[in-house]
Amino acid sequence: MSDEPIKVVEEEKPKPKKNKTPEEIEAAKAKKEAKAKKQKAPKPTKKPKPTKKPKAPKATKKPKAPKPTKKPKAKATGEKEEGVKPAKPPTLEEEEDVKPARPPTLEEEGVKPARPPTLEEEEEKLLIELGWDRLIPPVTTKGPGWAEPLEPDLDRVPGGYPINKEITTTEVIMYIPEEATTTPFIGPWYEEYDYGDLADKKLEEEAEKARKEKAEKAERLRKKWEEEEEERLKQMSVHVEPKKCPPLGLESHRVEDDQLLASSQSHHGFAAQRGRLNMQGSVNEDDVHGGGWCAEPEERNHWFEVDARREVEFTGVITQGRNSEQQEDFVSSYFIAFSNDSRDWTTLHDGYAEWLFYGNVDKDTPVMSQFDVPVVARYIRILPQSWNGSLCLRAEVLACQLPSHFRSENEVNTSDDLDFRHHNYKEMRQMMKVINEECPNITRIYNIGKSSQGLKMYAMEISDNPGEHETGEPEFRYTAGLHGNEALGRELVLLLMQFLCKEYNDDNPRVRRLVEGVRIHLVPSLNPDAYELAFEMGSEMGNWALGHWTEEGYDIFQNFPDLNSILWGAEDRGWVPRIVPNHHIPLPENFFNGSIAVETKAIISWMERTPFVLGANLQGGEKVVAYPFDMQRPPKSVTDGQGSRHGRRPDVEHEMNEETWARIQRQNEGALRETPDDTMFRWLAMSYAHSHLTMTENYRGSCHADDMTGGQGIINRASWKPVVGSMNDFSYLHTNCFEISIFLGCDKFPHESELPLEWENNRESLLSFIEQVHRGIKGIVRDVEGNLLANATISVEGIRHDVKTAAGGDYWRLLNPGEYRVTAKADGHTPQTRLCMVGYDSGATSCSFTLAKSNWDRIKQIMALNGQRPIRLVTKTNAVSTAGAGGGVTGTAGGTAASSNPQNAERLRRLRLMRLRRLRLQRLRANVTTTLATTTTTTTTTTTAPTTKPKTESTTSWYDSWFPVDSWSTENPFDGVIFESVPTQDYPFEYKIDY
C-alpha cells in the first residue's frame, strides 16, 4: 500500500531539479523568515468580521498551532555524522534582535538574483509551515544503484564558511492526505469555526452580559440603599426607641389656663382652655362648658399653642376629638411647630419635608405621636391640616424637664421609700405578699370575693390583732378600683399599705396609735378585670370610659339596691320608724335575682359580715369629696281632693306599684335630700379635703366646669351628679357605715412620674380621715346579767337615723361635738336613755348601756297564739265598746259581728279604712299636726275579739292613694321585707307625719 503513492509521485515527477546555489538557499531562507513574521498568528487566514463584534471568548479557541519558523530536525536514514548538529531556527525575539545585522544581498555578494521557487519547493515550505513534516515521516527509496542527489554548495554555512566534513542530504517524499481523511487537530483551529453561529453566540452573550450588568447594578443599588439605611439607623440608634417623657399636665390641670392659646374659637364655650385631654363637656351642647377647643371656621390658619413657661424637651403629643353626644368632630392630620419666643416658629421635619402627623379616626380614642428626636423649646403649636366635622380637638403634650436648679412640679423628693409605679394584678398581689412578710404581726391578706373573670378581690387587714374583731375597736375601710381606669386610688391604697408597715416597724407613734386602735381594711381593686384592660392601654392612652365598667357592663358604684326610694316612700306614708326602720333597711325581695354584678354581690356580703363604722371609696376624674345622699328626692307635693299626687294621672293610679314609683323618683328632677347626719358627713368630707394640699384651691375651678364647692372642696353628690343605687347610700341605709366618695384628681390614670406628687398631696388626708373613726360616742350594750346584746338599736334624739350593735354588743356612733340624749333599745328589754357628751378632744366618748328585761316576752306569746298578728293599740276610754245606734259596730260588738259573718267583717274593715282615709285628707287640707294621746298596751284578752283581724288604727291611717281601693287587702306592701326587730312600744311616744 505504501509503494503505490510513491510510484504515483515518481510518475508525476517533473524533470529533475537543478541544484540550488547558495544564494538561492539564502534568499529562500530570508523569504521564509519574512513569511514567519507575517504569520505570527492565524489572523491572515481568518475571514473578515461582518460587523464590529467583541473578541471571541477564550474558551472557544483551539490549541495554538506550532510556530511556523521552527524547522523540524531533518534526519538522514541513519547516515547522520557525529558532531554535526542541525541549525536551530531562530525565534521571533531572536529575529527581532538580528534585524540590524541583515545578511548581505545577492547583489552585494556578486551573485545573480535567485529564480522563483518551484511547486515542489512551495509544497515543502507549506508542509514545514503547517507542521505536517512532523506527522508524516519522510520516505527514502532504497535500491541498487540509487544515489541521493546532492545540492551544490551545501558545504557552506550562512556566512560563507565551508564545512570540512561532507554533508549528505536526503529528499523527503511525503504523502499528502486528502481533506476527507483529515483527523482532528490536523487542520488549523480557525478553519473549524462557524462564524454565523459565533455572531449569534456573541449577540446572546452580549445580551446575557447586559442582563447580568443590569442585575448587578440593581443589586449594587440595593446594597447601597441598605448600607445607607443601616448607616442612618446607626446614626439614629440613640433615638430608635423614642424618649419617654411624662405629660406636661394639660389633663391634670398643672398647666394653667393662661398657658393655653389658640388662633380662634367658635364661641365662648370652646376656648383654648377647653382643649385638655379627656375634657368633659356639659350635657347641654349650648352651655358655656364645651367638650374641647373648636376653631372659628372662617379662619384660614389654625393653631393650638401651649406655653411650658420654660425650655423643656418635647417628645410627643396626644390628640383626641371633641366630647359630644351629638357631633363627631376630630382632627385627622396636623403639623408640629416650635418656638422659643412665640414669634419665630420652626415646623418639625422628618428629614425630607415637613412632618405630617396623622391624628384621630374617632372622637374618643387618644392617639399618640412621638418625635424621633426630642426638641428643646418653650412653646409648641399644633397646626391642624385636615379634620372631620368641625375643627375641634383635645390634647396633651409630652415633655421632660431640663436639669436645672429650679424645682419642677413633676419632680418630688419624697421622704418615703415606697414603690412609686403602676402595678398590674400579679404585681399587686406580689406587693401585698411582700408587705405581709415584712409585717406579719399586724397584716393579713384575704379576699372578699371574685370578679366575673375569676380574679380575686384581695384585701389587707392592718391591726394589732389581725383576723378577728376586738370589742371596742372600730372597723374602717378604704376601697379603690370601683372603676378600672381610675388607677390613682389603687396606687394610693398600695402606698398606704407600705407606709403603715414601714412606719409601724420604725415606731412612728401616730401610726402605732392607728394600728392598735383601729381595724383597718384596705382593698386596692374592686374591679380587677377592668383595670387589666386599662393597664394594658397605659397612662394617657385609655379614653374616659375604657375600663370604667365591669366585664359584664356594670358600673359597680351604681349597682347597689335603691333603698332611698323605700325609705322616702315609707316616710311619706308615716311608716317610719314603726313599720319601716330608718336604718338597716332590708334588701328588696328578689334583688339578687335581678341585674347585679358578681362584684357587687361580694361587696354586699363583705359589708354585712363586717361592722364597719367609717369608710371611703377612692375615685377619679374630678378633685372633690362627695357625701350622701347621692340620689335626689322629688319635691313633696300636696295631694288634691282626688288623693292623687301632683303630676300623676288619676286614671292610672290603679296601675302604680313599687317599681314604677321608684322609677318615677329616679327620673324626677326635684329637690335634693340631705341625710339626717348631714352635718357629720360635711365634717368628714372637710377633714379630707382640707388636709389635702391642693383640693381647696378653687382659683382654677373644677376639672371640667366652674368650681361648684365654693372653695371648700366638698359637695353633696345629689346636688352635683345624682345617681341611683350608689354604694354610699346603700352603706348608710343598710349598715352602720358612713361612707363618702373621694375624687382624687382630674387625671384618672396619671403617669408614674406623678405618683410621688400625688402621694404627698394625699398622705396626710388619708391618715387624718382614718382618725375620724374615733369621733363621737362608743360603748357596749349589756343586760342586767352582763350578757352582751347584739343588734340593739342606738338612737340619738334629733337625728332620725339609728345604728345597731355588733355581734359583741359594742357600737360606735359618729357625732360632732355636743350634748346628745342617746337611747338604747333591744328586743325583750326596757329601753334606756342617757345623756352623752362629745368633746373636741381626740377619741370617742364612752357611753354604755345596761338594759332590764321587759314584758315583751309575754306580748310575743300572745301574738304567737293569734297567728303573729299585731296587737291593737287602744285607749282606756275605748276599752268598753258599745253598739252604735246607726248600726255601726265598734269594739267587742264589731268583733262579734265579724265572727258571725266574715264577709261583713271584711266590708266593715274596708269601710273603717275609708273613713280614716277621709279624716286624714281633711287634716291635710287644714294643715293640722296630729298628736296622738298617750296609749298603753293592754294584755287583757277580753278587750279584743279573737275572731277579728286585729289592726292598729295608726297603721291603717298611713294608706293613701298610692294603693288602689279595689285592691286593698290585709297584706302589708312591705310584707316581702323581713324586719329583724320592731321598735319598743311600751313607753309613751308622739310623732308627727312628715308630709
pLDDT tens-digit readout, 65-106: 545 444 444 443 344 444 444 444 444 444 444 444 455 554
**CA distance linking residue 726 with residue 564, whole number of Å:** 10
pLDDT digits (tens, 9 = 90+) for 318-327: 999 999 888 8
Measure the CA angle with vertex 208, ends 202 and 213; round to 5°.
120
Task: Tell me the pLDDT tens digit for each residue of 278-292.
Answer: 999 887 666 678 889
pLDDT by residue (tens digit) across 781-818? 999 999 999 999 999 999 999 999 999 999 999 999 99
* 380 pLDDT above the threshold of 90: yes
Q: What is the pLDDT of residue 541?
A: 85
Q: Which of 43-52, 468-477, 730-739, 847-856 has the lowest mean pLDDT?
A: 43-52
Dist CA 464 CA 88 (whole Å): 125
Is 276 or 954 the better-scoring residue by pLDDT? 276
Residue pair 803/794 in contact (Cβ under 8 Å)? The answer is yes
pLDDT per position as a tens digit, 549-601:
898 999 999 999 999 999 999 988 889 888 899 999 999 888 888 889 999 99
Per residue in 923-960, pLDDT tens?
Answer: 777 754 444 333 333 333 333 333 333 333 333 333 33
Tell me the per-residue pLDDT of 330-360, one tens digit each, with 9 for 90 and over: 999 999 999 999 999 999 988 788 999 999 9
**Letter string b/e over residues 530-551, b meaning 16 or more CB atoms within 10 A of that residue's CB:** bbbbbbebebbebbbebbbbbb
pLDDT in tens, 15-27: 444 566 767 777 7
Q: What is the pLDDT of residue 602?
A: 95
Rounded alpha-carbon distances, angstroms, from residue 968 to 756, 870, 911, 957, 964: 64, 18, 11, 13, 7
C-alpha span between 499 and 503 (Å, rounded):
6
Q: Is the peptide bond before 629 cis (omega within 30 degrees of 0)?
A: yes
Answer yes or no: are the C-beta atoms of 565 and 518 closer than 8 Å. Answer: no
Task: Output 214 or 43, whichever has higher pLDDT.
Answer: 214
Tell me if 531 sits within 8 A of 481, measured CB to CB: yes
pLDDT at 202: 84
Phi, psi of 648, deg, nearest 5: -100, 135
Q: Going by C-beta distance under 8 Å and a sequence separation of 6 or more, which residues neighbour residue 553?
A: none
Mean pLDDT, the chain, as a whole number? 76
All three cell numbers of 760: 404627698
- The confidence band for 919, taking pLDDT boundaries of 50, 70 and 90, is confident
With bands split at pLDDT 50, 70 and 90, how would you rate the model's confidence at 916?
Answer: confident
Dihedral angle sign, alpha carbons of residues 979, 984, 985, 991: negative
For 382-408, the pLDDT digits (tens) are 999 999 999 999 999 999 988 875 555
pLDDT band at 835 (very low <50, low <70, confident <90, very high): very high
At residue 290, the pLDDT reads 86
**Tell me, what's the pLDDT at 566?**
92
Residue 689: Cβ within 10 Å count = 21
Indicate whether 900 pLDDT > 60: no
State how far the alpha carbon of 135 is from the alpha carbons of 62, 70, 131, 549, in Å: 18, 15, 7, 107
Residue 674: the pLDDT is: 87
The C-alpha atoms of residue 476 and residue 467 are separated, in whole angstroms, by: 14
Q: Is the pLDDT of residue 650 over 50?
A: no
Residue 970 pLDDT > 70, yes or no? Answer: no
C-alpha cell at 629: 345622699
Which residue type, as a one-letter code, is found at position 941?
T
* Alpha carbon distances (Å) from 313 to 252, 271, 549, 837: 19, 26, 36, 60
Q: Is the pLDDT of residue 231 over 90?
A: no
Strands 161-162 and 156-157: antiparallel
Q: In what order do the strands lie in the sheet with 443-450?
A: 443-450, 456-462, 519-523, 475-480, 612-619, 738-745, 622-627, 714-716
Do 263 and 301 meet the contact criterion of CB atoms below 8 Å apart?
yes
For 391-438, the DSSP string reads: -EEEEEEEEEEPP-SSPPTT----SS----S---HHHHHHHHHHHHHH
Give tens-digit pLDDT for 702-748: 888 888 888 899 999 998 889 999 999 999 999 999 999 999 999 99
pLDDT tens readout for residues 489-515? 999 999 999 999 999 999 999 999 999
Instruction: Calculate mean pLDDT across residues 515-522.
Output: 96
Q: HEC profile for 907-951?
A: HHHHHHHHHHHHHHHHHHHHCCCCCCCCCECCCCHHHCCCCCCCC
pLDDT of residue 981: 38
Output the CA torsion 730→735→737→740 (10° steps): 0
Nine-digit cell at 102? 541583515
449: cell is 370575693
Q: Looking at the predicted structure, is the pLDDT value of residue 192 above 80? A: no
pLDDT at 526 exceeding the cut of 60: yes
Amino acid at 63: P
